[in-house]
Structure 1
Amino acid sequence: MSEPAQVLDCRGQRCPLPVIALARRLPDLPVGAVLRVLADDPAAAVDIPAWCRMRGQEFVAAGPDGPGYDVRRTH
């Protein structure tokens, strides 16, 4: 897994707050950049990939070493 361009720490926040933070931050990154969202709410494992599908962004992977979700900006 490649290193993200930025890390957004949403640990301790309940969904939908991590998804809202993701939606606000991703447009600040260039197309092709990866944003890692750190979220320890179990709902994030479902909500973040679902948001990516709805918004046409690429869900890259869940982090191997903690509560991280990588999202690549596609447009």
Structure 2
Amino acid sequence: MADRAAIYDLKGLNCPLPVLKAKKRLAGMQPGSRLWLETTDPLAVIDIPAFCSESGHQLIETAAVSGGHRFLVERGAP
């Protein structure tokens, strides 16, 4: 089955914008839904996992890609 998670392009944004934008986007999603975050900010490998941990979201997958990283985040319960 194909991954139906939406992709949120945060490339070109620097800390703290990727986390702030991800937080706002996830707030409007249903618990259990998933979102790919695509970033070029080197600090995102620290910031995104910390954000997920603090906010009750689950970091499902992290992948290094050309020029940045991708993070698959599952929206936690409100």
Larger gyration radius, structure 1 or structure 2: 2
Normalising by structure 2, what TM-score? Answer: 0.84
CA distance in 2, matches of 1:27, 1:4: 18
The alignment of Structure 1 onto Structure 2 pairs a total of residues equal to 74
In the other structure, the counterpart of 1:73 is 75
Once structures 1 and 2 are overlaid, which stretch shifts more, 59-68 or 29-38?
59-68
Q: CA, structure 1 residues 41+58, in 2 after alignment: closer, same or farther (shift >3 Å)? A: same
In the other structure, the counterpart of 2:14 is 14
Gapped runs of 5+ residues in structure 2? none
Gapped runs of 5+ residues in structure 1? none
Normalising by structure 1, what TM-score? Answer: 0.87
CA distance in 1, matches of 2:4, 2:37: 10
**CA offset at residue 64 of structure 1?**
5.6
4+ residue segments displaced more than 3 Å: none
Which amino acid letter does the alignment assign opposite residue 18 of structure 2? P
CA distance in 1, matches of 2:48, 2:7: 15
C-alpha distance after superposition, 1:7-44 (max 9, x if no partner) = 11010110110000100000222111111110011100
Which amino acid letter does the alignment assign opposite residue 74 of structure 1? G
Structural RMSD (CA): 1.6
CA distance in 2, matches of 1:36, 1:4: 10
